[in-house]
Structure 1
Amino acid sequence: MRPKRALLLVAVLAVHGCADDSTGEDGVRSVPLAPPDSLERVALDPEPERAFVRVPPRVLYPSPEIAPWTVAAERSFVQPYQAEAADEGIPGYRLVDGAASVPALIVVDQGDAPNRVVVPGPFDPATFNRISLRVACPERETVRVAFRRQAGRVFASDARAVAGAQGLRTLVFDLPEMRRQRAPFDELAIETGGASQGIVIVAIELSLEPLESFVFADGEVPALAQGANGETRRGYPLATGAPLVGELSAGADVELAFAYGVPRAFRSDSGSPTLRVTAATASGGRVEVSLPIGAAEWEEATVELAALGGERATVRFELEGDPAGFCVIAEPRLRRRVERPATVLVITSDTHRGDHVGALGNGLVATPALDALAARGVLFENACSVSNTTNPSHVALFTGLHVRDTRIVDNHSPLVADVATLAEAFRDAGYRTFAVVSIPHLGPEASGLGQGFDRVSAPTEGERDAAESVSRALAFLADAHSEPVFLWLHVFDAHSPYEPHADFDRRYYPGDPFDPSQSFDFKGKFLPKYLAGLRDVTFPHAQYRAEIDYVDSQLARLLGTERVRAGVTLFTADHGESFGAHGVYWDHAELYPDSLHVPLVLAWPGAPRGVRSRVPVTHMDVGRTLLDLAGLDAVPFGGRDLRWALAAGAAPAPRFAIAGYGFSASMEAGGWHLVLHLADHQPVSVLEPRTRHRIELYDRTTDPDCLEDVAGREPARAQSMRAALVRWLGEARAGSLGTEGELTPERRAHLRALGYLGDSGTTVGDEWIDPECACAECRAFQ
């Protein structure tokens, strides 16, 4: 567990070109940022520790006769099953010649119907809120637990996806909703989805855990507590009988601000609690407020502290009126209102090609909001991502670590908690930190990028429209109207299936792309369902262009605010999109310019206006740049300040990228682009298979789109660049910075629909490639 970081006051910010209160040509004032004492976080601790009485867990094991359990499946029987040393406490555990085994219920079914194992009760909901199953699923399966009374099913957990493996594993179902139940259940059922040929069950444990353990990971606070609407906030658990206390300095112009709420799963029907907040000084000064806890998931509150006369005070939060009361106190802080607080904004537009910005003048799209941003700052025309996949790309951007070193190559392996992130750097410097993302797999649990953010808004299922995401970002800024803010906004609309809003639909395609009389020149393997009946392969790109226009129309609402225009703003993308080049249709597979070239626009107070740089850069440098612009150049972080590219004679470094699932790696240097395939692969969107360790070489000076492979004509250059790329891959840090993500069936289906979850992938080991490999492909260029 990472040590808690010290709470800091906001630093004095030395923004380049922002030393006075001048006004630019567009009327935006170039102003000093927030004073150093504008915000201070308040740390809270329980007093006393909540008296939680732990009930011994109840553990159930299958009997040799199975009864009284019942099984709805083709066959079921009990026999010894391979176990681990950790299973020694299970009755019937045996160790023979070094091989451990335990009695297990084996459920076998060759069909595709769901299976059920029913265990008779009674089960008192007051005695448990977590079910732990010791099971094995030799094939991929979904599992859920359900409880019934004689009247029928009354409660079922969400289904959990279990990866196929022979070994035993513990599958945990957290059930805080049990606090709503009163009467005992008559039976417990373990249900599978029927995708596999069976399941192995060794033990069922019912345990009672403190409620806060379901809200805060690893017991570390303050941490993110998730509400039902997908908005998480960083806070502290507060229970009846266990007040929270903290210390604060109450200046005359300072107020205490915080949010409070009860996540829906934790609401109790035993009463309506009241939140009492008291701040008292040693000399007898006192401020007290009572706040009802209503139906809203989060309520904002402020407490004026002027009556305390500037003395140091103890603040106390406590719940009253409900013996089982529980809530979260989020983002407690002292703030001094300032007129023009600092604002640092990062926007990532998913699947946004680098050549689709109106300011480039190629006529592909109309993006007046982005053009205006470029007009008051710098447009980097030759920026590339370090991956063609969403989460790996974003993790690199927010950590300053390349995919080579994080080894996060998919959209379901969260970043480990002990890696410093850009959000943490700004939070430690006294900024409020907000994130609004538009897809579930960038949410805190799936990506690990919630660390450092005070708030994260992410959809729990499906994608969120840019209009809603921008509205949430504006609401977050309004909540922090007088406080420094670091805000990340992610929009997803440009991603397939390219279905623009009605006002933008067919903007670039007035005809009928499904007219059966048209000839159909399509060389791909298949048409996606959303393009069934298509007769013109140019139609998806036309709709994609309209999506870009729509995104811009929504971003205009945010980019046009005075606060944002007076701050630091960076716009980029995680990757691009391909529309047939290299046999890649309507996807961002492979490491060609279509998938790697991304827009990058940067504006800040005092920036050179309307500059267009063609120097090759990478968005790996985003974090370092924003920290330097905020005067936080002493904060350790990877990358280099992008402003290096504005200097005369700037010499770019080689650019490296790694594809999703570790399929390929690439290097660009001196106007040449080399691709090295690390595994045999052929994603469904790709026409031709790629062969393990084959290389491709392109001269981007004469072939900017990388359409002609010249590796055979340039063997010496191909050999030297391949050697450099293999050497770079060999310098990777050991081990992965990603963890094994848990995919629900719904999340798995969503990722598969977006093209992010194939039927097979590659396992990233300690080596990306064996430098001594002697296969035919490697020998040709060694």
Structure 2
Amino acid sequence: MQRFFLLLSLIPALQACNRPVQAEGQSPFRYAPPIEVVGNKPVLPEPQQVAKWELGRLIPDGWSARGTAQVRMVNDASQPEAMIIDPGASGALDVRNLPDLKTDRIRLRMRGGPCRVKVEFLAARRSLGTTRTAVLNSLTSFTDLDLDAPFLGRAVNSPDRLLIRISGADQQVQLSSLTLLKVAPAAWLPRPGATPWVSIREDQRRATGLLSSTPLRVRFRGVGNARLEFSFGIPPEAAGKVDARLEVKLWPERGSPSESSYSVIAHQNGVPWQSVHMDIPSELDGQQITATFRLIPKSLSQAALALTPPQLVRAAGHPSILLMTVDGLRADAVTTPGGAPLIEEAQRKEMVRVLQTPSTSPRVAATAIMTGQSPTKNGTLLDTDRLTKNTRTLASQLSSAGYLTLALVDDPSLGHGSGLLDDFDRVYAPAKDATVEELGAQAAAWMADLPPTPVFLWLHASDALPPYDPKPRFIRRFRNQVGDLEFLPPKFRPPGSPDVEDARVIRVHYRAEVAEIERELSRLITRGRMRSSIWALVGLRGQGHGEGDVWWRSDRLTPEILRVPVLSLGNQSGRLLEGLGEGVSSLGRVLLDTAGLRRLEFPSGAMGTPLTFLGNGSRVALTAEDGLGILTLKNNSEDPAAHKKHAFHWIGSQRTPQELATLHKSLLLRLGTLKVQGIKDCSCPSCAGIRD
């Protein structure tokens, strides 16, 4: 342990870590010193047992253990009394009449498997949440499965019922006992020194745990006129009753230490993130400074909070960058006069470009923008693929240049499972469907209290996708276009061939949703440092509005879905649009160049052959000036035999069979070079021909 802390004390002396990042001749302005844990690793108290029931008590005394699962009892000398769930059982084991007790963990003593187990808690028939799935694989002896339920700490009412769901069992599963536990609040926080994501009211930041028994320390070289920036908060599940103060001391090599303290008072709802900006006096420039963080409770009880890694920050001269991506934004129907003034101004000044999206999957398209690479290069080709860790992204590069990186997304496919959020400093990714108005409100809350560094803000909205539910005031902007049919139910779906009036109203509802998105964009670019920001609005994919009798769909390889708009106004907008290539993957490089960050390494996003993949990877489209060629890559439900011949379909102007055969072969050659699955090792006549 002593050698470990000796190694930590030597880290600031290493040249690579001792210097803040330089950016294009600017003075050092952002540096995150390594965190040291002062003292030994804290030992958290064991979970407190709230209640325990052996299986024999689950049936009498007003309890009921029933449900849709096939259940029977066993009690003989060879094994303890247990409830048996037979193989192939479906449904859940229903345990009711739970006592009014505070709990956030359930322990099930079970035998059997392999199978998956999870527990749902309810209060007055309303679901409070479901635990993560645990795997049971103990055939010979009983074992304890602990399932955490941190959501119960945020619940107003205690659970009165639980459902034990067991799936995948091919042998008998036995349940011997059920125990409800209460975990120490500090257990819901990261261990000191680690920095995973911590979510407080859906505002996610990387943070470490700070316990009253275990202070933290960072060491850094002072930079005049800089600030030490950090945030602290307490998630509801770790709250309890906390009355403490956070004490921060700066110990310079020479001179007296300085001290600041911040009140920390928490009840059931926790403490939202509080941002702190501590000025570093100019006389400490060049001195080695040690900062200690200590949580001091007023009582003898232990307290804990989440602390973001402290960073040394100094203002830089680069502009902030705002990137708004919109799912379902069509290039040929952005809006119409009277609906969205900002978009209309961009159209009037010809500040709109039409690019090609690399995929009908929003995850794949967003990854192409964030990496500056096509799907075949960044490895995210399907809507289920995850971006490889440590891949260079727009957020990681801007962070290295001193930018504070913020992400707000309303699409679960772009959440943490996509890998796109790994390099951001703050993340707002609600589990429920959020509106662009909610995302804008969270962005405004962040903008109200930020360090002096430039900001990279990515906001993704899906409001332009059906089912439409625009606010009436936005629909009224288009009153002269809809006649008497002003409103439709939010989940209205047109029939196969809607009449003229219905189709007109549907398109107006789409434009009203776009107007709402534009309103939030207009608000953001007038706030604080965003007034002089470089910003771009880009669609990830379009949608069908009756073309070819296709409505609502965004998963087809058709021009109205593959062609998306990019628009910008204000600071350097002309230069930004002129630098764009053919595809949206070129946007990241252009944003960096426009912000004066040419020296940052980042791909140009050049497309080469303009290809667009279907989200499930079954087809690919080759875009030409006079049409679209679609090639089937693998089996799909529409044409089970397609894989044998890699069928090629042309949509566009008239072409001779020889020209189509040439296009087909060139596309196969291109895909073979890119090592696309289904082409490289295929033995069908088409693929064999290109290797001969």
| Matching residue within 620, 634, 640 for 1:665 | 620
Specify whether residues 771 and 557 from structure 1 end up closer, same or farther in structure 2 by C-alpha distance, changes over 3 A only. Answer: same
Q: 1:249 is matched with which residue? A: 221
- The answer on whether the counterparts of 1:425 and 1:635 sit within 8 Å (CA) in structure 2 is yes
Please name the residue that 2:36 is paired with.
45
In structure 1, the partner of 2:280 is: 305
**1:340-489 superposed matches below 5 A:** 342-357=319-334, 363=336, 366-372=339-345, 378-381=351-354, 383-405=355-377, 408=380, 414-444=386-416, 446-464=417-435, 466-480=436-450, 482-489=452-459
Query: Which structure has greater helix proportion?
Result: 2
Distance 1:107 1:9 in 2: 62
Aligned in 2, Cα 1:200/1:341: closer, same or farther, shift over 3 Å? farther
Cα 1:637/1:210, change in 2 over 3 Å: farther
Q: Which deviations, in whole Å up to 9, do the C-alpha atoms of 1:40-61 show, x marking residues without a partner?
A: 3343221124322686999xxx
Q: Mark the CA change 1:68 to 1:274 in structure 2 (over 3 Å): closer, same or farther.
A: same
Does residue 715 (structure 1) correspond to residue 626 (structure 2)? The answer is no
Given that residues 146 and 190 in structure 1 are in contact (C-alpha distance below 8 angstroms), is that contact kept between their aligned partners in structure 2? yes
> Quick one: which of 493, 502, 512 aligns to 2:463?
493
Pair 1:589 & 2:589 matched: no
Partner of 1:315 in structure 2?
Answer: 291
- Asked if the contact 2:318–2:595 (Cα under 8 Å) also holds between the matched residues in 1, the reply is no
Kindly state the Cα deviation for residue 281 of structure 1 after the two structures are TM-superposed.
1.7
Kindly state the Cα deviation for residue 68 of structure 1 after the two structures are TM-superposed: 7.8
1:176/1:78 Cα in 2 relative to 1: closer, same or farther (>3 Å)? same
Q: Relative contact order (alpha carbons < 8 A, sep ≥ 6): 1 or 2 greater?
A: 1
Alignment CA distance shift 1:375-1:39 (3 Å): farther
**540-549 or 478-487: which moved more?**
478-487
Aligned counterparts of 2:303 and 2:431: Cα–Cα separation in 1? 26
Give 1:79-90 correspondences, 5 Å limit.
none
Superposed displacement of residue 774, structure 1? 5.2
Query: SS at the partner of 1:467?
Result: helix
SS in 1 for 2:586: helix
662-671 vs 310-319, which moves further: 662-671
1:503 Cα deviation after fit: 0.8
- Distance in 2, Cα, partners of 1:399 & 1:69: 55
**Residue 189 to residue 612, structure 1, CA distance change in 2 (3 Å):** closer
TM-fit CA distance, 1:478: 3.3
Paired with 1:611 and 1:435, the residues of 2 have a C-alpha distance of 23
- Tell me which residue corresponds to 1:88: none
The answer on whether the counterparts of 2:185 and 2:239 sit within 8 Å (CA) in structure 1 is no
1:343-401 residue CA offsets vs partner (Å, 9 max, x unmatched): 1221112211112346xxxx4774331354577895323x0111112222212221234
Aligned runs of 1:16-415 on 2, under 5 Å?
A: 35-52=26-43, 72=66, 73=68, 75-76=70-71, 106-107=85-86, 114-116=92-94, 143-144=118-119, 158-159=129-130, 173-176=147-150, 191-192=164-165, 201=173, 221-227=194-200, 229-269=201-241, 271-295=242-266, 296-306=271-281, 309-310=284-285, 311-321=287-297, 323-330=301-308, 332-337=310-315, 342-357=319-334, 363=336, 366-372=339-345, 378-381=351-354, 383-405=355-377, 408=380, 414-415=386-387
Following superposition, the deviation at residue 423 of structure 1 comes to: 0.7
Matched, 1:545 2:522: no
Cα RMSD for the two superposed structures: 5.1
| Structure 1 alignment gaps of length 5 or more | 15-34, 80-90, 93-102, 528-532, 642-651, 703-709, 735-765
Instruction: Please give the secondary structure, in 1, of the residue aligned with 2:557.
Output: coil
| Residue number among 528, 536, 561 corresponding to 1:570 in the alignment | 536
Amino acid at match of 2:280: L
Q: Give the superposition deviation at 1:596.
A: 1.4
Q: Look up the equivalent residue of 1:353 and give its one-letter code.
A: R
1:574-723 superposed matches below 5 A = 574-602=540-568, 605-606=571-572, 608=574, 617-640=582-605, 653-669=608-624, 671-679=626-634, 681=636, 693-699=646-652, 702=653, 714-723=656-665
Distance 2:390 2:265 in 1: 36
* Contact 2:193 2:208 (8 Å CA) reproduced: no
The CA deviation at 1:474 is 3.1
Specify the alignment match of 1:511 in structure 2.
484
| Structure 1 residues 594-619: Cα deviation after superposition (integer angstroms, max 9, x where no partner) | 11111113568555479779x96111
Instruction: Flag the 1:344–1:225 CA change in 2: closer, same or farther, 3 A.
Output: same
1:188 Cα shift?
A: 10
Letter in 2 for 1:564: M
Q: What is the identity, as a one-letter code, of the residue corresponding to 1:302?
A: H
The answer as to whether partners of 1:131 and 1:174 remain within 8 angstroms in 2 is no
Does the 8 Å contact 1:235/1:331 carry over to 2?
Answer: yes
Q: How far off is 1:265 after superposition? A: 1.2
How high is the TM-score relative to the length of structure 2? 0.76
For the residues of structure 1 that align with 2:672 and 2:387, how far apart are their CA atoms?
22
Matched-pair contact (CA < 8 Å) for 1:677–1:690:
no
SS of residue matched to 1:622: helix
Task: Give the partner amino acid of 2:164.
Answer: E
CA–CA separation in structure 1 for the residues paired with 2:294 and 2:346: 47
Per-residue CA deviations over 1:710-769 (Å, capped at 9, x if unaligned) read: 6xx5433333333333344445579xxxxxxxxxxxxxxxxxxxxxxxxxxxxxxx5468
SS of corresponding position for 1:503: helix
3-state secondary structure, aligned to 1:551: helix
Q: CA deviation at 1:620?
A: 1.2
Q: Distance in 1 between matches of 2:361 and 2:243?
A: 46
Q: Aligned equivalents of 1:538 and 1:166: distance in 2?
A: 58
Return the alpha-carbon distance in structure 2 between the equivalents of residues 653 and 590 of structure 1: 22
Q: CA deviation at 1:481?
A: 5.7
* TM value normalised by structure 1: 0.68
- Report the Cα offset of residue 504 of structure 1: 1.4
Give the structure 2 partner of residue 752 of structure 1. none
Rounded to whole Å, the distance in 2 between the matches of 1:690 and 1:584 is 25
CA contact (8 A) 2:121 2:159 kept: no
Amino acid at match of 2:409: V
Residue 159 of structure 1 aligns to which amino acid in structure 2?
Answer: T
1:12 aligned onto 2:12: no
Taking the aligned partners of 1:779 and 1:369, their CA distance within structure 2 comes to 52
Contact 2:35 2:309 in 1 (8 A): no
**How high is the sequence identity, in percent, across the aligned residues?**
20
Match of 2:3 in 1: none
CA distance 1:541–1:290, shift in 2 (3 Å) = same
Q: What's the offset of the Cα at 1:316?
A: 0.7
| TM-aligned CA distance change 1:679 to 1:467, over 3 Å | same
Q: Is 721-730 or 499-508 further displaced after alignment?
A: 721-730
CA shift in 2, pair 1:567/1:733, >3 Å: farther
SS for the counterpart of 2:332 is: coil
CA contact (8 A) 2:251 2:257 kept: yes
Q: Matches of 1:632 and 1:484 in 2, distance apart? A: 12
